[in-house]
Amino acid sequence: MFELIIFISGLFFGSFLGVLVDRLPKKENVIKGRSRCDKCKKELGLFDLIPVLSFVFLKRKCRYCHTKLSLLYPVIEILTGIMFALTYMFIISNFKFQISNEFLILKSLIILTYYLFMISSFIVIFFTDLKYGIIPDKIVFPAIVINIFYLLFFNPKSLIFNLASGLGAFLFFVIISYIFYILTKKQSMGGGDIKLSFLLGLSLGFPGILVALYLAFLTGGVIAIILILWKKKAFSKDTLPFGPFLIFGAIISLFWGNQIYSLALNFLGI
């Protein structure tokens, strides 16, 4: 029952994340100002903003100008709802919510809030880079600060280790970018990817960051090959946002990184 409440809450929160995805790249205020139709600029009413349901009842069209609405908005809302519910179940099974006294209740709620915050940040980064080719600093930098405080108060022994993991991932991307530029005189990845790599190393630690990067490069390579074979991308001309692949790898690693790493070691006989 509580999972359903978390899911529905995620739908509404996903609506706000959709606003962030659209407004951050345009440097618009994400707090002030009512949502408007992208086409006719008409201010949307309350019944136009009900997550998923408004999209369905309006038959994917603006109530005022009847322009087709992007599928991006309900996708973000539904994905956020699902991820919120999965995150709650993950926290319940792995951290065992403590309800014996007020302090332990507060601690459990802070852990859940931290994970929901990270999932929300990952969703915004994923879709912003996918749609606009931008990884917003206004998401990455606050997430770095939140991670440092979270580790400082809840896992201080891992703070230095996770900082080292973040720095290692950052330097790894800088070196790859530099070598690629020397060989081709072209930029292999943007500064946003490099800054994101530090955040992922900081939040995942080791071996989590290793699993995340492996999955990111693996899925990114597979998708790139498929697009080239379908002639959707030209190998020498087109670029593919790498942020979504990093986020995909990070989310998988956040939940199952240790298990995947252990399976890999067993497979290699290490």
- Give the tens place of pLDDT for each residue, 165-203: 999 999 999 998 888 778 776 766 778 899 999 999 999
Handedness of CA 124, 78, 62, 54 (dihedral sign): negative
Residue 98: both structure tokens together: 């403590």
| pLDDT tens-digit profile, the chain (270 residues) | 788 999 999 999 999 999 899 889 888 777 776 676 666 666 676 666 778 888 878 777 777 777 787 888 899 999 999 999 999 988 877 766 555 566 667 778 888 999 999 999 999 999 999 999 999 999 999 999 999 999 998 888 899 999 999 999 999 999 988 887 787 767 667 788 999 999 999 999 999 999 999 999 999 989 888 877 776 554 445 577 899 999 999 999 999 998 999 888 888 877
CA–CA dist 223, 244 (Å, integer): 12
CB 36, CB 44: distance < 8 Å: yes
Could you give the CA distance from residue 242 to residue 236 in angstroms, rounded to a whole number?
Answer: 16
H/E element, 257: helix 243-268
> Could you please report the per-residue DSSP string of 95-162?
H----SSHHHHHHHHHHHHHHHHHHHHHHHHHHHHHHHS---HHHHHHHHHHHHHHHHHH-GGGHHHH
Which tokens in the block code for residue 182? Answer: 């020397």
Instruction: Find all residues with CB under 8 Å of 89, minimum gap 6, and list them.
Output: 3
Rounded CA-CA distance 17/266 in Å is 39
Give the closest residue to 80 by CA, choosing from 129, 147, 15: 15
* Amino acid symbol at 114: Y
Residue 6 to residues 37, 92, 163, Cα–Cα distance (Å):
28, 13, 31
Structure confidence by residue, pLDDT tens digits, 217-234: 999 989 888 877 776 554
Burial group, residue 16, by CB count within 10 angstroms (0-12, 13-18, 19+): middle
Instruction: List residues bridging with 36 in a β-sheet.
Output: 43
The two tokens of residue 18 are 């959709």
Contact yes or no for 25/132 (Cβ under 8 A): yes
| Euclidean distance between CA atoms 173 and 207, whole angstroms | 17
**Alpha-carbon gap, residue 80 to 12, rounded angstroms:** 9
Rg (C-alpha) for the chain, rounded Å, is: 20
Q: Which residue has the tokens 């309350």?
A: 46
Question: What kind and span of H or E run contains 50?
Answer: none
